């Protein structure tokens, strides 16, 4: 079985999270992804793209790839920033600062790298019936 992949470029603006969610929904629905996996993917990709728009620079790239024999999908958001994401613990009255906590709690795993001036943040979610 060959792993399926998909990617798209996003503009670095406030519309990017919405456009990214629509792309993820379209691709994963076409791949027959279970609803819980799709819902988690939509939420988490929105968080990562929002972070890239707020903290990164340049155009964004969104990559999707099946892993684990199609039982999971890896979603990666790349931007031209040089910083590394860090999980924070937001105070109850803060309006932001919880995105990576959601990624940590709802994904199978996540990570980041910075190579040649490009920051990449990824996560994996289950896509089969046990998602």
Number of residues assigned to the chain: 131
* pLDDT tens digits, 14-73: 999 999 999 999 999 998 887 778 899 999 999 999 999 988 888 999 999 999 777 899
Domain positions in the chain are: 5-126
Cβ atoms of residues 32 and 25 within 8 Å: no
Q: CA dihedral in degrees (121, 39, 37, 59; nearest 10)?
A: -30
CATH fold for domain 5-126:
Heat Shock Protein 90 (3.30.565)
Give the predicted TM-score (pTM) of the model: 0.87
């Amino acid at each position: 079985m060959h792993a399926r992949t998909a990617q798209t470029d996003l503009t670095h603006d406030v519309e990017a999270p919405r456009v990214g969610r629509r792309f993820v929904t379209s691709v994963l629905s076409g791949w027959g992804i279970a609803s819980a996996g799709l819902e988690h993917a939509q939420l988490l990709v929105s968080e990562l793209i929002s972070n890239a728009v707020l903290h990164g620079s340049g155009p964004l790239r969104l990559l999707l790839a099946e892993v684990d024999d199609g039982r999971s999908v890896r979603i990666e958001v790349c931007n031209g920033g040089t910083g590394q994401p860090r999980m924070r613990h937001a105070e109850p009255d803060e309006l932001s600062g919880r995105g990576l906590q959601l990624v940590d709690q709802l994904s199978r795993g996540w990570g980041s790298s910075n190579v040649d001036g490009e920051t990449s943040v990824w996560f994996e979610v289950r896509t089969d019936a046990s998602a």
